[in-house]
Structure 1
Amino acid sequence: MRMKKNSLWIAFMMIFALTAILTGCSGSKDTSSGTNAGINEGASNASDSNTAGKDTANKLSGKVTFLTNRTDMIGKEYDDYVKRFNEKYPDITIEFEASQTDYNQQIKVRMASGELPDLMFIPDIPNSDLPKYFAPLDDLELSAEVTFKDFKSYDGKLYGITTGNSTSGIVYNKKAFADAGITELPKTWDEFLAACEKLKQNGVIPLSSNFKDKWPLGNWVYDLPRVIENNKNFPNERLNMEAPFSMDNGYGKAMSLLRTLAEKGYLEKDINSTNWEQSKKDVANGKMGMYFLGNWVINQVIGVGAESDNIGFFPLPFDNSGEIRAGLNPDFFYAVSKDSKNLEAAKAFLTWMLEDSGYEDFAGFISPLEGRESKLTQLAEFQATGVDLQEGMPDDPKVIEISNKAQIDLPAIAQEFVLAKDPQAVLDKWNKAWAKAKKDLGY
């Protein structure tokens, strides 16, 4: 009798196990084939996840200070961003600080004093210093991979995310070109100079350099040299050079192009008294014909009065070979202070800026997130020229270290080069500073 009870028990357990297995198989089949049962289950999970996300958002609070170089957005677009952000995070206060001076230098001063804002842009420091000041950002929940991820990473951790990406080229007023009789876009340097001359003869300042402000010269010395060399690692190869600045390499050639424009009177009448905000209006209304800047400036020109259809964008023809190349680069990199008192709130705002703000379209950037298409029609026009976009590479920490010790400021060197009676003497001066710094550091 005992044996019979055991047999019945075993039989019952086998039937129960078989039923469980069949039920599991049925559930798996429904989910993979997309039946209503599977979809409803996924919808239920998504609903739970959204509810959890809202609960998390509602719990976050605190004040986040963002030091920004976009002073033109304060009281305007930034106000709209805060309003929209607070719909999701009602208890987080966002405060904007305007950088009225050299942003890079301002951040370095605040690093030294230990008074960093919660959110900022990373200055030109070695990546090995990133953990000293900034919090890792690997835990941000983003919908896609970030671009140029290696640029601000150290020891396997991500510390900076690009605000957007840009390529450099000639942003121009189409009506100014047409009125000057320029019927085709220049494809060689000689054709470019001829276009400049036509603009000048028609009473238009050919190219706005904003020479005095220094930072707008960045494309001439950071981007163009490697494009001229057709070598994306050219800036890092300075590590193996005792004299990295010469007339016949990318640096000398790029600065010589700028000097030629100045000598021919194709820049502002007084290059030492330019005004950035006014220059945008002058390009918009056709008093100035062109910029050599990144695509980010296009929407700024449109924003001060230009019709979008009247602003074009084409690659700078830097020589007479007919080859069309341009650099593709990240812009400023967002970072969060590791000492922020509201670290999670700062990360939440950064995530929102990347995912939901639409800043890249407003700023005229290529999205910092992979796979997102730009809404900027001028970029499509630019790419239709068949331009070869050359991605930049992260700066070698040793190159940064040498540059800092030698006090190499490339836009400032370009200013000196253009104004000097003897530009070769300028290159000699900075080659000497480079060689000394390299030797002192044991490289």
Structure 2
Amino acid sequence: MDTRKIAAVGVAAACMLGMAACGGGNGGGAKTADGNKTGITYPEIKLGETGKDLKAEITFMNARTDMALDSYAGKNWKSYIEEFNKMYPGIQVKVQTDSNYADSSLTRLQANNDSWDIMCIPAVDKSEFKNYFVPLGEQADMDKEIKLTNDKSAGGLTYGVPLGGTVNGIVYNKKVFDEAGIKELPKTPEQYIADLKLIKEKTKATPLYTNFAEEWAMGAWDAYIGGNASGDTNYMNEMPHNKTPFAKDAKAPDTHPYAVYKTLYDAVQNGLTEEDYSTTDWEGSKPRINNGEIGTMVLGVWAVPQMKQAGEHADDVSYMPFPITVDGKQYATLAPDYAMAVNKNVSKERQEASMIFIKWLTDKSGYAMNEGLIPMNVNDKEMPETFENFKDVELIVDKPAPEGEEDLFADVNSDSELGINSGNGKKIQEIVVDAANNSKDFDSIMNEWNQKWGKAVEDNE
């Protein structure tokens, strides 16, 4: 079965599940529709009161394998759960993590059983949310509680709560930049490549560490191609109508997806990355950027706390905007991190316990700030120190897809087999290989991508 996109459950089966779920309570709505057996919504939960005497054991699936370790330098899952149990001693939370989460979570989801309770939602079409997850509440009500609800809402119902908000930039070592004589952060691809050359010439650090061996880390480059590279909040909605989104913009060649991926290609071709890309080590890269052996890494802001905690030089690790400027302005797309959802197949008690834990993790745990993410509670205005270099950057939020096109991007993306923002780092790894070996010029790579994407656009018209 193709794990890039889950096949829809049969219509009859879905209808039967929906009718069974709506058979009692208030006769429908967010409280009981499509598998919510609790009779409550996320906004109705009052922490410390709702489910105070509840006894249940739940499983929380997520991608943070590092936080499952006692040796994790920050606050690990065990510590969070111990704090949660001070408020809810009867709810036992078991954590399951996987380094290949994007694929393994889809496999678990396809089983459509009760083997998990909370899952960080993988690449699933919005139209399929109701087949697997509990509606947490009406989106209009959820908007009063949490930020960025649209990403995991469908049909007026919200199914997922983000672990936090994120913008995407570049992790860098301030001391390395100082040693290289870099006085201002780069704002264009050319400036960034020039700075990498200075790092190579004047320091012993690897200018850009690709983390090539980790496919998911390579896939991180996809996150910059929308608002970051265009300043357009509707770019990702227009992309499934554009047959050549990877072509160079004639009027602004240093913008849009072409410029993002070319930045990587140029860095590799100019010898500004690790000597042997096949030997990169993700865990090993953390202390190396902490102690100044690496200058930059292109990763989401979530990576910053891990790099800071990996050695004795936390103050040297910082975060900067991705170096693309559109009409004199830099942009960064504010987007949700993985969103937590509740299994519609588990018992009422497990659903209620799961909803309570999600709300506690969002409102009380401090998780988002601890991990360098933007808190999701609408009343929380705090911003992590990580964003100190984003003061002059305009944070934008992608517009929701037009009605009737909610799954269009996902359909085109899947049919093209490019897997944009779906954890597919293989295509980015190929850029590194072709650049390192001079086996294919960059325009040829982008032309191939355009052919695949263009055909998928035609097939979905």
Q: Smaller-chain TM-score range?
A: 0.7 to 0.9
Shift of 1:374: 3.3
Shift of 1:434: 3.0
1:114 aligns with 2:107: no
Matched to 2:214, the amino acid is D
Cα distance change, pair 251–413 in 1 and its aligned pair in 2 (3 A)? farther
Equivalent position of 2:221 in the other structure: 220
* CA distance, structure 1, for counterparts of residue 329 and residue 312 of structure 2: 30
Q: Quick check: 1:187–1:322 contact (8 Å CA) kept in 2? A: no
Equivalent position of 1:230 in the other structure: 231
1:73 aligns with 2:72: no
* CA distance, structure 1, for counterparts of residue 92 and residue 308 of structure 2: 31
Matched to 1:62, the amino acid is A
Higher alpha-carbon deviation: 197-206 or 415-424: 415-424
Cα distance change, pair 250–412 in 1 and its aligned pair in 2 (3 A)? farther
Q: Quick check: 1:130–1:159 contact (8 Å CA) kept in 2? A: yes
Shift of 1:324: 2.3
Look up the SS of the partner of 1:107 in the other structure.
helix
Equivalent position of 2:317 in the other structure: 311
Gaps of at least 5 residues in structure 1 are 1-51
* CA distance, structure 1, for counterparts of residue 85 and residue 49 of structure 2: 14
Look up the SS of the partner of 1:294 in the other structure.
coil
* CA distance, structure 1, for counterparts of residue 244 and residue 234 of structure 2: 17
Alignment of 1:36-55 (within 5 A): 54=48
Shift of 1:207: 1.7
Q: Quick check: 2:54–2:91 contact (8 Å CA) kept in 1? A: yes
State the Cα deviation string for residues 223-271 of structure 1 (Å, max 9, x = none). 2343222212212212222333323372222111110111112222222
* Alignment equivalent of 1:361, drawn from 366, 369, 373: 369
1:343 aligns with 2:343: no
Cα distance change, pair 223–183 in 1 and its aligned pair in 2 (3 A)? closer
* CA distance, structure 2, for counterparts of residue 263 and residue 322 of structure 1: 28
Equivalent position of 1:423 in the other structure: 442
Look up the SS of the partner of 1:378 in the other structure.
helix
Cα distance change, pair 107–207 in 1 and its aligned pair in 2 (3 A)? same
* CA distance, structure 1, for counterparts of residue 164 and residue 104 of structure 2: 22
Matched to 1:296, the amino acid is W
Look up the SS of the partner of 1:289 in the other structure.
strand
Look up the SS of the partner of 2:340 in the other structure.
strand
State the Cα deviation string for residues 61-120 of structure 1 (Å, max 9, x = none). 11110111111111442111111111111111110111121x121111112222452111
Q: Quick check: 1:152–1:159 contact (8 Å CA) kept in 2? A: yes
TM-score by length of 1: 0.80
Matched to 1:424, the amino acid is D
* CA distance, structure 1, for counterparts of residue 373 and residue 224 of structure 2: 16
- Report the aligned-residue RMSD: 2.5
State the Cα deviation string for residues 284-311 of structure 1 (Å, max 9, x = none). 0100011222222211111112434322
State the Cα deviation string for residues 42-65 of structure 1 (Å, max 9, x = none). xxxxxxxxxx97564332111110
Equivalent position of 1:401 in the other structure: 411
* CA distance, structure 2, for counterparts of residue 189 and residue 382 of structure 1: 17
Alignment of 1:137-148 (within 5 A): 137-138=136-137, 145-148=145-148
Alignment of 1:266-305 (within 5 A): 266-305=272-311
Equivalent position of 1:174 in the other structure: 174
* CA distance, structure 2, for counterparts of residue 262 and residue 162 of structure 1: 34
* Alignment equivalent of 2:260, drawn from 247, 254, 274: 254
Matched to 1:399, the amino acid is F
Question: Which structure has greater helix proportion?
Answer: 1
Cα distance change, pair 293–392 in 1 and its aligned pair in 2 (3 A)? farther
Higher alpha-carbon deviation: 340-349 or 420-429: 420-429
1:383 aligns with 2:381: no
Shift of 1:216: 2.2
Percent identity over paired residues: 30
* CA distance, structure 2, for counterparts of residue 336 and residue 320 of structure 1: 40
Equivalent position of 1:126 in the other structure: 125
TM-score by length of 2: 0.78
Cα distance change, pair 415–198 in 1 and its aligned pair in 2 (3 A)? same
Look up the SS of the partner of 1:309 in the other structure.
helix
Larger-gyration structure (1/2): 1
Cα distance change, pair 309–375 in 1 and its aligned pair in 2 (3 A)? farther
Cα distance change, pair 326–55 in 1 and its aligned pair in 2 (3 A)? closer
* Alignment equivalent of 2:426, drawn from 412, 427, 433: 412
Shift of 1:319: 5.4
Matched to 2:390, the amino acid is Q
Gaps of at least 5 residues in structure 2 are 1-45, 71-75, 250-254, 435-439
* CA distance, structure 1, for counterparts of residue 59 and residue 83 of structure 2: 17
Equivalent position of 1:372 in the other structure: 380
Matched to 2:107, the amino acid is V
Shift of 1:332: 0.8
